[in-house]
Amino acid sequence: MKKSKALRLITVLAMLVSSFVALLGGTQGTAAEATQNIRIHKLQFAEMPETTQNTGGEMTWSGSKPLAGAVFTAYDATTEYWEAYNSTSGTTAEKQAAGIEAAKGVDQTGGTAFPATDTNGIAEGALPITSGGQKAVYLFVETTSPAGVDQGESVPFVLGLPVYDDAGTLRNPVHVYPKNEVNDLTLGFTKYGIDADGEKAPLAGAEFILKDVATGKYYNSETNKFDLEQAAASKLASKENGQVSVEGLLLDPGMYEFYEVDNGVSTSAAQTPNEAQDNEIFHFMNNPVVTATVSTNMTVSYDYYNQQLVEQKEQATAEAYNYKVPVPEKVVDEDDVNAGQTVNFTITQKIPDDVAQYTEYKLVDDYDARLSLVSTQAEILNSIQIAGAAVADVTPTYSAGENQFTLEFTPSELAKYAGQTMTFKVAMKVTPGTDLTTIDNKLTFDNNFYDKHTTEEVNTFGKRFVKEDANTKEKLAGAEFKIKNADGKFLQYLNDEGNPVAEFTGEAAGDVAWVDTQAAGTTFISDENGNFGVFGIAGGEYTLIETKAPEGYVTMPDLEFTADNGKETLSVINKSKGILPSTGGMGIIGLVLAGAIAITGAAIYFKKRAGYTEG
């Protein structure tokens, strides 16, 4: 337990009383001896013992150890002591207390320095026993303390000479036992990693070196001291629980800094992503990451930066953070669309917790050539929100190129919004075409640590057909069709001016409209190879209606089909009408009647002729 100031004062007074045996008679007279030897026994304790009065003779304390390296300087406080003593009325104890208080205020320049205490904790020197014709009084101050000493317990003490034993013999030497509480310290903190999703977890395997700011030397784990240059400094790795610690340190008061160094767990260098974006390690930039301050009474406080890089001062414990870059997101309101349809994208970006460390911050939108940008620059900028609200103090720079636009932000403007989510909106139109592959829209977060990207897909579909003879598979030209959707509306294409297109021969593309009447729908006609097709319609079920069959063929029944990516061609067949006889004349009955009449006439003719001959 630490002593209070009052308790330390009692200790000083007790030592003073024990040392002032020769002073109790007043200020008159001097001793015959010119000097008296003072032997300092410097003792260290893990915890300070109860106060015990010095006797001037040899003494022992349980639990003590000698402390080497302490330097004491004696300052002549004779004048200050006796002036206060003589000017104070009251008991001897009250006069002595006034003198002691005055002696503590003596000018601490010059003085007589004793040697540093040796390995036995002993330093010895001689002091005059008189000063200015008065019995000498000295203030002893510990002017150099060994590492680990609680200097709050290194209380100056007052010694009056000469000192005699109980038999009246001058002590030589005079034994005094100043005491210190010596504490070994642990310096450390907890290391955390913030992943790309913003999740916090202890980070193992990050490495650090530790510097004594006062000496400029670095920690050596073999000696447990600060005796190395930076290049040779011992590496301190964070454990599975994120702990980084150095134990058993005997330290001087001062500042000690933890610096992070690059390794396979974390780096301060820019990283190059692979295609899968799975090679990112944690990054850092600020160094030192943690500063420990050791006070004169051997307490430790820490300065560090919290998760959002807000500086924390004089804290009892410390944390440090490494980060991964958050992934941007882009979401479309409808991903299965018709040509000519406007789709709306919402772009979302979590502002990194460590945005203050960023020197580059760009959101780059690369959109497919089959998309055209509908939103204006002002509309995009005005749609920016952070945490669901518009902000006036974030002013990105907008630039645009072919199938691309970029918003470049100033990281310092975003620092106050660290850890919050930013959004903005973009409208784009799907342009007509016969390419039915997926329409990609890539969003990239360009930064100085590790570029991240995401892709949002939009799909439009269609169908290829071939018109064929049902038996011979001959390709048939000139067949005419309409297309109806599941809602009973008919497909109509629009030209570049937005006007309806009456008919298309072969493959058809354009902005899509759906109209109520079949007559208003665009007519699709098979070409000389029997091919025709429609492109730029949303996925789903449709009906193909043949409105005119090729010459000599029967109109086919309505055909259900599913829009797809156009890689498969659907065969549409027609049946021939066949070869039929001519109709509408006398037919076979007329021939029979004509034959019968001819035979009857012939018989009558020959009969008459025979009769005429006979007659």
What pLDDT score was predicted for residue 347? 98
At 603 the pLDDT is: 52
Backbone angles phi, psi at 555, to 5 degrees: -60, 130
Q: What pLDDT is stored for residue 36 in this prediction?
A: 96
Q: What residues of the chain score a pLDDT lower than 70?
A: 1-33, 579-615
- Per-residue pLDDT at 600: 54
Identify the CA nearest to 405 among candidates 440, 447, 363.
363
Which residue is it, tokens 């029997």?
530
Q: Which two tokens stand for residue 526?
A: 């098979």
Q: What is the DSSP string of 94-121?
A: HHHHHHHHHHTTS--SS-EEPPPP-TTS
Distance of CA 7 to the CA centre of its chain: 51
Q: Domain boundaries in the chain? A: 5-181, 185-323, 329-458, 461-576
pLDDT of residue 582: 52
SS (H, E, C) 305-358: ECCCCCEEEEECCCEEEEECCCCCEEEECCCECCCCCEEEEEEEEECCCCHHHC
> Residue 577's pLDDT is what?
86
Residue 598, amino acid:
A
Domain 329-458 has CATH 3.40.47.10: no
Q: Look at residue 180 and give its three-state secondary structure.
A: strand
Q: Do domains 329-458 and 461-576 have the same CATH topology?
A: yes
CA-CA distances (angstroms) from residue 147 to 38, 73, 316, 422, 428? 24, 18, 21, 51, 69
Bridge partners (DSSP) listed for residue 225: 220
Predicted pLDDT of residue 165: 93
Give the fold, CATH level 3, of 461-576: Immunoglobulin-like (2.60.40)
- Options 2.60.40.10, 1.10.3720.10, 3.30.450.40, 3.80.30.20; CATH for 5-181 is 2.60.40.10
pLDDT at 541: 97
pLDDT of residue 154: 82
Return the CATH number of 185-323, one of 2.40.30.200, 3.30.420.40, 2.60.40.10, 2.102.10.10: 2.60.40.10
pLDDT score of 63:
87
Distance between CA 168 and CA 71 in Å, rounded? 31
